[in-house]
Amino acid sequence: MKIVLEDLSFSYRGGKKVFEHLDLVLPGRHIVAITGPNGSGKTTLLKLIAGILEPDSGKVIFDGVGSEFLRFGFVFQNPSEQFVHFTVEREVGFALENFGYDSDVIAIKVSEILKEFGLYSKRGSSPDELSGGEQQKLSIASSVVYEPKIFLMDEPTSYLDEPGKKLFFETVSSLRRRGYSILWVTQDPSELKLSDYVLLLEEGRVTFFENTKRFLKDGYDSI
Ligand code: ADP
């Protein structure tokens, strides 16, 4: 799903401008890595795209429609802060309850997803008992179950050890194969090679936006 940001401006209340007249077209069905220094606006960009923050002016359009018509998948730095239920199973079913699905349908969908993500044997466990990598998998599973169009990931590997990262990369690759659009904020240069495009943000401006091969060849020095 293509994302178009049109003449977007945003500042936090009482704060300085984060974006001023930003125009940007993000291709769908790819992984776009969003990188850049701290405070450059990466998280704010994700929140504007998700509709969590309202722009002061300008708009975000997804294949011609506004964010209110879309479901987003979210993956954050620290998944355990996101979990609100006592079991893995309830955690995955939660969003479906909110979307008003029948309990029979929820039970079937939850089982399917847990099996697909290799978490079925952990369905009765507390999310806190999972490893970091499994928690991020649960986080993704909890979104995939309601079939979002776009995944927004904000430094999802920050708290993962090496095996956790490996698990996470495999899961993200499988999402891409399935045609999801993924926006992935990362500050880790070694992760960029997993993306299709790299977008470099500096003080709210896009200073580089190219396919990843070209970025790794030409743009690497600028980060
Ligand atoms: P990044 O994700 O690249 O580190 P952010 O999007 O978090 O950058 O922040 C962009 C700018 O907005 C920074 O100057 C930051 O200090 C400011 N900022 C972020 N969140 C808030 C907030 N809730 N209130 C006021 N200013 C904020």
40 lines ligand 1 (CB under 6 A): yes
Site to substitute for ligand 1 among 8, 9, 18, 48, most atoms within 8 A of C-beta: 18
Taken as a whole, the chain contains a residue count of: 223
163 lines ligand 1 (CB under 6 A): no
Question: What is the number of H-type helices and E-type strands within the chain?
Answer: 6, 9
Q: How far does residue 39's CA lie from ligand 1's centre (Å)? A: 5
Q: What pLDDT score does 221 carry?
A: 57
Q: What pLDDT score does 103 carry?
A: 95
Tally of CA atoms within 13 A in the half-sphere of 83 that contains its CB: 26
Q: What pLDDT score does 61 carry?
A: 94
pTM of the complete model: 0.91
99 lines ligand 1 (CB under 6 A): no
How far apart (Å, rounded) are the C-alpha atoms in residues 123 and 115?
10
Q: What pLDDT score does 220 carry?
A: 62
- Residue 17, class by beta-carbon neighbours within 10 Å (0-12 exposed, 13-18 middle, 19+ buried)? middle
Q: What pLDDT score does 149 carry?
A: 87
The DSSP bridge pattern shows strands 31-35 and 197-202 to be parallel
How far apart (Å, rounded) are the C-alpha atoms in residues 155 and 157?
6
Q: What pLDDT score does 34 carry?
A: 97
Task: Report mean pLDDT in 10-residue bins for the chain, 223 residues.
Answer: 95 93 95 96 96 95 86 89 92 92 96 94 96 92 91 93 89 90 93 94 95 80 54
Q: How far does residue 116's CA lie from ligand 1's centre (Å)? A: 36
How far apart (Å, rounded) are the C-alpha atoms in residues 106 and 131?
25
Q: How far does residue 154's CA lie from ligand 1's centre (Å)? A: 13
- Of 62, 60, 145, whose CA–CA distance to 109 is shortest? 145
18 lines ligand 1 (CB under 6 A): yes
39 lines ligand 1 (CB under 6 A): yes
CATH hierarchy code of domain 1-70+149-160+181-223: 3.40.50.300
205 lines ligand 1 (CB under 6 A): no
Which ranges in the chain are annotated with CATH 3.40.50.300?
A: 1-70+149-160+181-223
Q: What pLDDT score does 3 carry?
A: 95
